[in-house]
């Protein structure tokens, strides 16, 4: 084989191995080292030098320092026993609106998902808390399931999102500008979810019967007190971290450290900060951070060898030879990412496959910042779309026995279409994502 053919074979072999269930990070490293040995004609010295350099570049990447801090913040918030209070306070505030429990679930999911960034935790906890409450109230099973699954994925898009940090480190785009760019699309998507619920319930009130009169007639000051003790503290923590980053008061790493400290204070204020919970949070943070860092080491090694062999040039020449328009290129890449979301987590998509598309952005005149926001929107569907949709399976694991997976899949389908519609709106009106970074940073 010639070197470019070897590079293409390397990529195909890797896809086949991960489909068989091999550990992704170490498969990347092993294949990078193995094919580098072939590229350097059996000389181990440059191979080992390449691996060490790639490992060192990851460990000294300032942007990635914020990852374990944001992850730690999320795990602490998750264990602060705030979710039930948060859901109750938002439920009281939304009591007069159609589908108030579903709206309260979406608001709670959005806020909690943003604070934790852990889709599985948000969907599972809301499945235990909000799902039974909605079913007890007579809500439609499919609507209830769709609301929880879709709302639980919002933390991937709405800042401070760990996914945006990893994309920034991969694409060489400022995470600060990514946060500014993703803010309005994230809020837009959450708003579209809520509008969909309200419209559907207004058309068919049987989908979400109103709360009993006794639960809606709550004194105003009771609602204010509940919001002040649950919603406001968490919202202040999130917006303080986000504001410090976006207005240049602190770097993402510094703001993440402030957020981690704020999460500890919040957990202590709710009297839920125990040594066992702290130890568990530290362990989970270390495990998640190690996974992310080894993925980057493997990805950087793999991509470097792939480039040495000329595989990226083959793919670039092939795509350019198709004579696609920028719109068609975006459609093709987003379809590929959508399909990759079935067998892969978003981390693998960002650090392994997105770098293949990045060199093509200049040719098609696409801003990497805009491309990253589109990917963040698209990855919402990775957790929702059958047959391998993680959010529905998380929910099924805690749902009552009479709720089957087909009902949950059916419930998430309208929200998948809403995400696709949001991507279309973003393409038609790019200012939705690009205005704020342009205004704040002159991009």
Residue 384 is encoded by which pair of tokens?
A: 């929702």
Residue 348 is encoded by which pair of tokens?
A: 């693998």
**pLDDT confidence band for 43 (50 / 70 / 90):** confident
**∠ CA 418-419-424 to the nearest 5 degrees?**
95
Q: Is the dihedral of CA 231, 87, 185, 254 positive or negative?
A: positive
Q: Is the pLDDT of residue 1 over 60?
A: no
**pLDDT confidence band for 288 (50 / 70 / 90):** confident
Q: Average pLDDT over the chain, rounded to whole?
A: 84
Q: Is the pLDDT of residue 368 over 80?
A: yes
pLDDT of residue 390: 78
Q: How far is CA 211 from CA 139, 141, 307, 436, in A?
A: 11, 17, 60, 39
**∠ CA 380-8-320 to the nearest 5 degrees?**
70
Helix (H) or strand (E) holding 232: helix 232-246
The residue with greater pLDDT, 408 or 223, is 408
Q: Backbone phi, then psi, for 430, in 5-degree steps?
A: -60, -20
**pLDDT confidence band for 417 (50 / 70 / 90):** very high
Q: Is the pLDDT of residue 76 over 80?
A: yes
Neighbours of 96 (CB within 10 A): 10
Q: Is the pLDDT of residue 255 over 60?
A: yes
Residue written as token pair 């990805």: 299
Q: How far is CA 92 from CA 85, 113, 200, in A?
A: 11, 20, 21
């Amino acid at each position: 084989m010639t070197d470019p053919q070897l590079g293409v074979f390397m990529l195909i072999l890797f896809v086949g191995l991960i489909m068989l269930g091999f550990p992704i990070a170490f498969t990347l490293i092993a294949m990078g080292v193995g094919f580098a040995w072939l590229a350097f004609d059996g000389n181990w010295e440059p191979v080992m030098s390449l691996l060490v350099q790639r490992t060192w570049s990851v460990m000294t990447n300032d942007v990635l320092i914020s990852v374990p801090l944001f992850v730690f913040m999320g795990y602490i918030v998750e264990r602060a026993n705030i979710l039930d209070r948060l859901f109750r306070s938002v439920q009281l505030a939304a009591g007069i609106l159609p589908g108030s429990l579903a709206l309260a679930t979406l608001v709670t999911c959005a806020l909690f998902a943003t604070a934790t960034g852990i889709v599985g935790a948000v969907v599972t906890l809301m499945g235990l808390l909000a799902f039974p409450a909605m079913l007890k109230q007579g809500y439609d099973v499919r609507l209830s399931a769709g609301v929880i699954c879709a709302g639980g994925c919002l933390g991937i898009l709405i800042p401070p999102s760990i996914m945006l940090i990893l994309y920034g480190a991969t694409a060489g785009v400022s995470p600060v500008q990514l946060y500014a760019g993703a803010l309005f699309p994230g809020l837009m998507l959450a708003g579209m979810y809520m509008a969909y619920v309200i419209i559907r319930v207004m058309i068919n009130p049987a989908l979400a019967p109103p709360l009993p009169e006794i639960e809606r007639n709550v004194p105003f000051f009771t609602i204010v007190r509940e919001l002040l003790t649950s919603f406001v503290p968490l919202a202040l923590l999130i917006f303080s971290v986000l504001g410090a980053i976006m207005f240049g008061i602190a770097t993402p790493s510094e703001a993440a450290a402030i957020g981690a400290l704020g999460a500890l204070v919040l957990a202590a204020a709710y009297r839920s900060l125990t040594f066992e919970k702290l130890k568990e949070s530290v362990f989970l943070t270390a495990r998640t951070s190690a996974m992310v860092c080894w993925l980057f080491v493997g990805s950087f090694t793999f991509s470097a060898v792939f480039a040495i062999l000329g595989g990226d040039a083959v793919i670039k020449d092939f795509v350019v030879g198709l004579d696609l328009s920028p719109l068609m290129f975006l459609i093709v890449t987003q379809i590929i990412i959508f399909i990759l979301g079935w067998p892969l987590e978003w981390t693998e998509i960002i650090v392994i496959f997105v770098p293949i598309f990045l060199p093509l952005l200049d040719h098609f005149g696409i801003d990497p910042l805009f491309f990253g926001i589109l990917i963040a929107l698209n990855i919402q569907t990775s957790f929702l779309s059958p047959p391998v949709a993680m959010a529905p399976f998380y929910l099924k694991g805690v749902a009552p026995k009479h709720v089957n997976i087909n009902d949950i899949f059916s419930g998430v389908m309208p929200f998948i279409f809403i995400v696709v519609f949001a991507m279309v709106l973003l393409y038609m009106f790019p200012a939705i994502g690009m205005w704020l970074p342009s205004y704040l940073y002159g991009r």
